[in-house]
Structure 1
Amino acid sequence: MFQRQQRSLTSLELSPEKESKSHLIVMLHGYGSNEKDLIQLAPELLPECRYTSPRAPLQLDHEMYGWFPIGFTPTGLSVDPDAVKEALKQCITYLEEVIVSFRPPEGKVFLLGFSQGAIMSYMTAFTRPDLLHGVIALSGQLPESAMPEISSPELLKTIPFLVLHGIYDDILPIEKGRAARLWLEQHTLDLTYHEYPVAHQISGVGVTTIRTWLTEHLPR
């Protein structure tokens, strides 16, 4: 049963079967979506985990939200680095709140982000790796022009990453996923990368991959 919570960001949450010391998975939706999106995957993942899905702070339309504005130009997408930094600040504040509320093991969470939510997951890992057990980046890309300074390269190396991307993605082309793979191979020690014959979406096989990866990476 999903429960709505009001923190610094409105969110939906799914409690685990057993409440004590559950691992916490924070789900960051993409541009134009909302908190009701990724949380629908939770019942297909691990029942022993707690899931929370915050609504991004920027309202675009009715029930459509984003983490930061996107500009559409003849040469591609553009972003305002200052707006990206503000979105990251709000995301980190939310993570700190839920860590205090739920006290997950070691005071850390897993981040699962889709599209723009994957960008937010990358940026959080690059700036606050101390908050994370791992990152699941789905159909995303590196922050590129808004790339933050890596706060702790040695700590970042210890963060496991799962990156999934659709070969036929027409929103963020497969080259974006491959570029993220190449960068992460140089900066992390635990990277799992998969491509699937799908568009800008999460496939059923991808959900199985996520579940298996989480099972292997939950701290015991």
Structure 2
Amino acid sequence: MTGEIDWVEIAPRAPHRYTIIWMHGLGADGHDFESIVPELGLPDDLGIRFCFPNAPVRPVTINDGMAMRAWYDIMDMSLERQVDKAGIAESSTSILKLIDREIEGGVSSENILLAGFSQGGVIALDAGLKCPHRLAGILALSCYLPTWPEIVPALSEVNRSFPIMMAHGSFDNVVAREAGRAAFEALTSMGYSVDWKEYPMAHSVCLEEVQDIADFIRQCFHLEGYV
């Protein structure tokens, strides 16, 4: 437990060298992306620990105030939406504490990758860009960056050159492609190395994307020749 966050863990069979902290989307939980691990086709002896945190349960305005797992509240679905900045900051702080826990456990910060889908991708970006420790990179799937440009003063200088992969569905009717592209363009304008990938899908993950994710993980952990 880290604050209010607990998580689902897939421990490595080999000695623990790398950690991927992967945040789920609205209304899901830490089990949501468990099944993607074998699909990535990463060798068992790499020593990668997968940590899937559970978002806290909170009322969500767009769902009539129903309580569900959410990294932050969503007030409306427009591109100009009102943003729950306090909720995002709270969740990002919890993930930064989880990163600290991994480092204290003996994992180099440069061997820690943040990943997330939808709301989880927002937190991966927000926390990763502010993290004071040098990370391996950020994998941001079907998401956007609602804290831009307010986040700019908090950007971490040590993570200015790490790799970021953003992936989005061309037909996403939950998080508009334009919102994802706006985040990509804002980050590239600031000099970040961002790889934008787009797939003919809705708000989901496809097989081609899974292969690209696996390649990105190898790149971040400098394992490109390791099969």
From 186, 202, 208, the equivalent of 2:205 is 202
Relative distance call for 1:214 and 1:17 in structure 2 (3 A) is same
What SS does structure 1 have at the residue aligned with 2:95? helix
Please tell me the root mean square deviation across aligned C-alpha atoms, in Å.
2.4
Pair 1:34–1:176, CA change in 2 (3 A): same
- Match of 1:192, SS state, is strand
Q: Is 1:52 aligned to residue 48 of structure 2?
A: no
Q: CA deviation at 1:130?
A: 1.8
Single out whichever of 50-59 and 200-209 deviates more from structure 2. Answer: 50-59
CA distance in 1, matches of 2:198, 2:142: 10
Shift of 1:108: 4.6
User: What secondary structure does 1:26 align onto?
Assistant: strand
Equivalent pairs, count: 212
Please show how residues 16-165 of structure 1 align to structure 2 within 5 Å: 16-20=12-16, 22-45=17-40, 46=42, 47=44, 48=46, 49-60=48-59, 64-72=68-76, 77-101=81-105, 103-106=106-109, 108-144=111-147, 147-152=150-155, 154-165=157-168
Letter in 2 for 1:56: A
CA offsets 1:73-111 (integer angstroms, 9 cap, x no match): 77864233222222222221222123323x223465100
- Is the Cα contact below 8 Å between 1:166 and 1:197 reproduced in 2? yes
Contact 1:156–1:187 (8 Å) recurs in 2: no
TM-score (normalised: structure 2): 0.83
Unpaired stretches in structure 1, ≥5 consecutive residues: 1-5
Higher strand share goes to which structure? 1
Aligned partner of residue 165 in structure 1, secondary structure: strand
TM-score using structure 1 length: 0.85
CA distance change for structure 1 residues 88 and 82 in 2, over 3 Å: closer, same or farther? same
Q: What is the CA distance between 1:140 and its match in structure 2?
A: 0.3
The unaligned stretches of length 5 or more in structure 2 are 60-65
Deviations 1:152-198 (A, max 9, x none): 56433211101100000000111012112211212244221110000
Shift of 1:119: 0.7
Calculate percent identity across the aligned residue pairs. Answer: 25
- 2-structure distance, mates of 1:203, 1:86: 30
Change (3 A) 1:73 1:139: closer
CA–CA separation in structure 2 for the residues paired with 1:105 and 1:40: 26
